[in-house]
Structure 1
Amino acid sequence: MSKVLKVGIIGSGGIAQAHARAYKAMDDVEIVAVADIVPGKAAEFIHRLGLETATPFEDHRQLLEQPLDGVSICTPNASHHRTAVDALRADKQVLLEKPMSVTLDEAIDMVSVSKETGNMLTIGFQPRYDPNMKTLQQIIQSGQLGKIYYIQTGGGRRRGMPGGTFIRKELAGAGAMADIGCYSIDLALHALGYPRPLTVSAYTSNHFGTNPTYHPDASHFDVEDFGVAMVRFEGDLVLNFKISWAMHMDTLGPTLFLGTDAGLRVTPAGQGPWSGVWDGGVDSISLFHDVLGHHTESPIPLRSHQVNLFYEKVRDFVVAVQEGKPAPIPCDEILRNQAIIDGILRSAELRREVTIELPN
């Protein structure tokens, strides 16, 4: 049996509970520390989740002084960079919740520190563990579509605006883009090996979040609830991206991959006002191709499964730490995801196309 991994959790909000429950379900992991800057919150979290052997801290740097093998970082977005860098320099392996950071410069620094210290920084994109997402990836990587030249992705909730730290720019950095948009970008680009983005032309708005008719905390809402962008990549590929927390519409359309030999249409699972985005499963996959000169649509059978995607994400991190494997979802890959979000926000603010500058 592998050695018992000693882990700490930084942040004790809702997503931290999901990390804690996943760790608790593993016989070879012990949660030994929890940190939260709000006085008493870490202790309350420990008591509520029955983490009897864990010690509470109000400063994450004190937690990082403990003999830990790894940490989950579950803090508001604005603190991801500082907390992750501190953890890496404290010789900890790091599982960081999405989005990676607030700005591209922060993400570049995080990747640099991970390489410098030799410590893992993996980013939490649990939809990758859906067996049907893996089917989608296999189809694209098989070459059946030929050269892929256009992708449409994103998603929209008719009503699905969160509150709290998600809607304040000083804490979240961005709104729908960081919360659910990063999943759509990962869906589109992971299967293609994350091509290098070159330019972005984008528009964002927050007509719903700032309207008290639609959001109870409208006076504090200062992030975007809608965004759309055209992103150009190396290899003559373009991405039409759109995301929405709220709108007067039932959908912003499926995800599409257009290739020279075939096309692929993918729709997200779920029903109701909070569905329609890529933070969950897959509802359908269809391949559009020609057979003997006839236009043909071939439904791709979905895999029925009971996979707990969040557990699989955390488990993959644990195994990687135990066995000295590379990061399950490498930070230098998600750097390009963050670069696109950063470019979208800059372009929307400047109201013009912007260039994405990435280190070689």
Structure 2
Amino acid sequence: MTRRLKIGIIGSGGIAGAHVQAYQVLADVDVVAVADMIPGKAAQFIDFWKLPSAVPFDDYRKLLELELDGVSICTPNVAHYQTTVDALRAGKHVMLEKPMSVTLEEAVEMADTAKQTGFMLNVGFQPRYDPNMTIIQDVVQSGQLGKVYYVETGGGRRRGMPGGTFISKEIAGAGAMADIGCYSLDMALNAMGYPKPLTVSAYSSNYFGTNPLYHNEASRFDVEDFGVAMIRFEDDLVLNFKISWAMHMDTLGPTLFLGTDGGLKVTPAGKGPWSGVFDGSVGAITYFHDVRGHHTESQIPLVDHKINLFNEKVRDFVEAVRDGKPAPIPGEQIVRNQAIIDGIIRSSASKREVTIELR
């Protein structure tokens, strides 16, 4: 008989509900504890999601004293670092919501702690579980594009600014970059095998979020709603990154991979003011190449699927815990994603190019 895994959830905001639902569809997994720093909130969460055997905590450190196989960390961004480090040191595998952290230094220590303790740090990028993302990765890594020298990624919503904890620098660390930009970065970087970034030159603004005409919490909006950056990587590769929560435009364009032998254009799925970024699925994939000297465009057929990407992310984590496998999306890799976001923040603040220092 398979032993039932015991899972704790730290942070009981909106995204924690998605984690509970994903765990509930899996056999032999029990959510046995929930922690939230707001008194009474964990208990309310347990009642709402009908988790009668779960124990509520106001202090997540008390939750970590339990015998747990893993924890989902669903706190605001600013708490990711300390909560993750404490969970790993307490001997728990970690399923961490994106973004990984607020600063590069935090991300590095989190990854180092996972390595030192031998416990898994898995970062949640559910779009990777779309089979069409695998197609992109396969094409880029197959070599049929030749040497990829330029990549353009990002996206933008015409109107798609959240509120609450997302718009406070003190709580979120960053705005659109941390919320949706990390997805676009992961899609492009993962397709290329996560190359090492070297420098960043960036600009950011928040003209929409701070304007009461566009946001009803404008007075407390102090993160960026738009950002753009040029990132240089090893092996003479550059990436043009752009992201926006709001703009007077229908799109910031598709993701592009330019290679010496071919090119790939990837458009995000969805329509409407909240679409246009890669936090969801893929809308179209087009392969540009030459055949016998003639310009040729090939539409790559998309995989039509009904996969619940979020559930697959959690399932993969659970299977890795149960089978003793490495983290499906290891923190050690996502450090480079965080390094770019950290560089964008530093560059846009200093209004100059900055260097990324990585081992």
Quick check: 1:99 aligned with 2:99? yes
CA distance in 1, matches of 2:267, 2:191: 16
- Residue 3 of structure 1 deviates from its aligned partner by 1.9
Quick check: 1:127 aligned with 2:139? no
Q: Where do 1:143-154 residues align within 5 Å? A: 143-154=143-154
- Residue 289 of structure 1 deviates from its aligned partner by 0.3
CA distance in 2, matches of 1:144, 1:53: 53
Residues 2, 322 of structure 1: 8 Å contact kept: no
- Corresponding position of 1:192: 192
- Corresponding position of 1:14: 14
Quick check: 1:162 aligned with 2:147? no
Gap regions ≥5 residues in structure 2: none
- Corresponding position of 1:177: 177
- Corresponding position of 1:27: 27
- 1:165-213 Cα deviation digits (max 9, x unpaired): 0000000000000000000100111011111100000000000000000
- Corresponding position of 1:236: 236
- Corresponding position of 2:357: 357
Quick check: 1:205 aligned with 2:205? yes
TM-score normalized with structure 2 length: 0.99
Secondary structure in 2 aligned to 1:290?
Answer: strand
CA distance in 2, matches of 1:321, 1:10: 18
Structure 1 residue ranges, 4+ long, deviating more than 2 angstroms after superposition: none
- Residue 2 of structure 1 deviates from its aligned partner by 3.4
- 1:249-302 Cα deviation digits (max 9, x unpaired): 000000000000000000000111000001000000000000111101000000
Secondary structure in 1 aligned to 2:279?
Answer: coil
- Corresponding position of 1:79: 79
- 1:45-95 Cα deviation digits (max 9, x unpaired): 000011111000000000000110000000000000000000000000000
- Corresponding position of 1:62: 62
Q: Which amino acid aligns with 1:355?
A: T
CA distance in 2, matches of 1:21, 1:229: 36
- Corresponding position of 1:38: 38
Quick check: 1:118 aligned with 2:124? no
Gap regions ≥5 residues in structure 1: none
Q: Which amino acid aligns with 2:179?
A: D
- Residue 32 of structure 1 deviates from its aligned partner by 0.2
Residues 285, 299 of structure 1: 8 Å contact kept: yes
- 1:303-328 Cα deviation digits (max 9, x unpaired): 00000000000000000000000000
Q: CA RMSD in A?
A: 0.6
- Corresponding position of 1:253: 253
TM-score normalized with structure 1 length: 0.99
Q: Which amino acid aligns with 2:171?
A: L
- 1:5-59 Cα deviation digits (max 9, x unpaired): 1000000011000000000111110000000001111000000011111000000
Quick check: 1:90 aligned with 2:90? yes
CA distance in 1, matches of 2:10, 2:270: 31
Q: Which amino acid aligns with 1:18?
A: A
Secondary structure in 2 aligned to 1:229?
Answer: strand
Secondary structure in 1 aligned to 2:200?
Answer: strand
Residues 3, 322 of structure 1: 8 Å contact kept: no
- Corresponding position of 1:296: 296
CA distance in 2, matches of 1:332, 1:13: 26
Secondary structure in 2 aligned to 1:287?
Answer: strand
CA distance in 2, matches of 1:68, 1:201: 43
- Corresponding position of 1:221: 221
CA distance in 2, matches of 1:3, 1:147: 48
Quick check: 1:139 aligned with 2:139? yes
- Residue 105 of structure 1 deviates from its aligned partner by 0.4
- Corresponding position of 1:52: 52
Secondary structure in 1 aligned to 2:135?
Answer: helix
Secondary structure in 1 aligned to 2:328?
Answer: coil
CA distance in 1, matches of 2:5, 2:276: 37
Q: Which amino acid aligns with 2:334?
A: I
- Corresponding position of 1:337: 337
Q: In percent, how many aligned pairs have the same letter?
A: 72
Q: Where do 1:318-329 residues align within 5 Å? A: 318-329=318-329
Secondary structure in 1 aligned to 2:228?
Answer: strand
CA distance in 2, matches of 1:27, 1:329: 22
- 1:232-262 Cα deviation digits (max 9, x unpaired): 0000000000000000000000000000000
- Residue 109 of structure 1 deviates from its aligned partner by 0.6
